Amino acid sequence: MIKNYLKIAFKVLLRRKFFTFISLFGISFTLVVLMVVAALFDHVFAPFPPETKLDRTLNIYWAATSHKGEFHSLTIPGYALLDRYARGLPHVEKFAIHSIPTSAISYKDGAQISSYLKTTAGDFWDIFNFNFLEGGPYSIDDVTRGNFVAVINDATRNKFFGNESALGKAIIVDDQRFRVVGVVENVPIFRVTPFADIWVPITTSKTDNYRKEMLGIQMGTLLVRSRADFPAIKEEYRSRLSRVKLEERGEDDTVTGCPETLFETFSRFLGGSIQNSVLKPPSGRLWAVMLTLMILFMVLPTINLVNINISRIRERASEIGVRKAFGATSRTLVGQFVTENVVLTLLGGLVGIVLSPVVLQLLTGSGLIKYAHFQMNYRIFFTGLLIAFFFGVFSGVYPAWKMSRLHPVEALRGRSL
């Protein structure tokens, strides 16, 4: 039975090549676009090395300062603020303070090498799972003692040493000499939390000033026991900060902030007033906006698919008549048309699955985004396929059912709906 359906389906699809082409084009094109968007999204938000424990990681990216109770500005926390108030929060397993990447200059044979340098303190190497190509991370002990050790990425190793091993060799960055203890895979620039070219202990900074800074260039990363503890941690950090005065700015200045996920941070830029969203990032709204955009994008291909399907079935009124005259039930007829649509959708999916990696590869190769490496997101792919499938079946069942209920004589004469 099914075999027969499949046979008929292929025959029909081949007979009306133009219709088949339009449907396939629509399905695969929609899937490819969905895949590219999903890959971009994953590139920023999904857990993959070094951020493998994203689901239970919180970051402190911002410090919002107020003057006499009125919102003043959104700035970046300093070491002192994080060290005093973010350390030892309940339910937190690991804690690291690390700087936002700053540009650092080195020279190699007279040519300038510009890299992004991140200074770290605390459990940085335990929270993030970097893929080490050589050596390993420096220890907490290295950080306490202020040893001049560095972890560099693959691209930096190539710049300094070509293809040779970098272990134990020295690099001079901003006039400071570091010994390379580890080489990691390149981290894409969109992984804003761990991204850098060179990682060194914070204690190698040229002055000790960072220790006194309430506002500065640091971010805090917390590895939490479980997601369920997020609200409690946010609440505790907030209440600790409510007692803090920014002395260097005067008695009236206070500071607040919120440990959050990267997605929550992004949702801040959605608009609305920043000060309101500091404590409550509108991440739900960002989801809603993204979902709406996705649905809007899929509306046209879907209508097109439905339209084509209906046309295809309507065209075959006489075929339906013949089958009915020979005793086919409505159910068999519907089954046949649905099989056709399923075959078509699967074919479209196949084309999409072949094309998407090609497009992603092109994007990766274009070098548009530093160290980018786009990957297929099969979860979204199958969701997309499922949606196409749904509309394919839906658009096949209704007209097929209507047609199958026509009187054989009417259908044989080719009467329209």
Partner 1 sequence: MIKHLLKMVWNRKRANILIIVEIFFSFLVLATVLITTVHYWQNYYRPLGYSIQGVWRIEMSLKSLLTSLKAGSDDSKQETEKARQLYLALQKLTEIEAFAGSSDAPYDPSVQTSSYSYRGSKLEIQTEYGCTAGFKDVLGLQLVAGRWFEPNDAALSWDPVVINQKMKEEVFGSEDPLGKNIAPEKAERERRVVGVISEYRKHGEFVSPYAFAFQRSGWSGMEGQLSGPPHYILVKVRPGTPASFEEKLMTQIQRVNKNWSFTLTPLSESRQNWLTFCLVPIVAGGIVAAFLLIMVGLGLVGVLWQNVTQRTREIGLRRSVGGTRGDIHRQVLGELVVIASVGLLLGVALAVQVPMLHLIDFISARVFSFGIVSSVGLIYVLTVLCGLYPSWMAARVEPAQALHYE
Strand (E) or helix (H) holding 106: strand 102-108
- Count of alpha carbons within 13 angstroms of residue 11, beta-carbon side: 8
Q: Is 348 in the site for partner 1 (CB under 8 A)?
A: no
CA pair distance 27, 386, nearest whole angstrom: 11
Nearer to partner 1, 141 or 208 (CB): 208
Asked if 17 is part of the footprint of partner 1 (rule: CB under 8 A), the reply reads no
Applying CB under 8 A, the span of 15-23, 128-136, 155-163, 282-290 interacting with partner 1 comes to 15-23
Check residue 216 and report its DSSP letter.
S
Q: Which of 126, 142, 185, 315 binds partner 1 (CB under 8 A)?
A: 315
Neighbours of 59 (CB within 10 A): 20
DSSP 78: -
Separation of alpha carbons 51 and 47, rounded Å: 5
Residue 133 C-alpha from the chain's centroid: 24
Span 123-162, contacts to partner 1 by CB under 8 A: none
| Interacting residues with partner 1 between 200 and 239 (CB under 8 A) | 205-207, 209-210, 212-213, 215-217
Taking the complex as a whole, the smallest distance from the CB of residue 100 to partner 1 amounts, in Å, to 8
- Nearest CB to partner 1, comparing residues 33 and 187: 33
- Tell me, by CB under 8 A, how many residues bind partner 1: 50
Q: Which is nearer to partner 1, 298 or 338 (CB)?
A: 298
**Smallest distance from the beta carbon of 306 to partner 1, in angstroms?**
6
Half-sphere exposure of 112 (CA within 13 A, CB side): 6
307 binds partner 1 (CB under 8 A): yes
Q: Does 121 bind partner 1 (CB under 8 A)?
A: no
> CB of 188: closest distance to partner 1 in angstroms?
16
Query: 171 or 183: whose CB is closer to partner 1?
Result: 171
Helices (H), 315-377: 317-325, 330-366
Considering the complex, what minimum distance in angstroms separates the CB of residue 22 from partner 1?
5
Query: Any contact of residue 368 with partner 1 (CB under 8 A)?
Result: yes
Geometric angle at alpha carbon 127, from 125 and 129, rounded to 5°: 65
Residues 6 or more apart in contact with residue 110 via CB below 8 angstroms: none
* Residues ≥6 apart with Cβ < 8 Å to 94: 122, 123, 126, 127, 222, 223
Residues whose CB falls within 8 Å of the CB of residue 63, separated by 6 or more in sequence, listed in order: 74, 75, 76, 77, 78, 81, 214, 215, 255, 256, 257
Note whether 111 binds partner 1 by CB under 8 A: no
Nearer to partner 1 (CB atom), residue 213 or residue 229: 213
For residue 301, state whether it binds partner 1 (rule: CB under 8 A).
yes
Least distance in Å: CB of 364 to partner 1?
15
Q: Which residue ranges make up the site for partner 1 (CB under 8 A)?
A: 18-19, 21-22, 25-26, 29, 33, 67-68, 70, 78, 100, 102-105, 114, 174-175, 205-207, 209-210, 212-213, 215-217, 248, 297, 299-301, 303-304, 306-308, 310-312, 314-315, 368, 413-414, 416-417
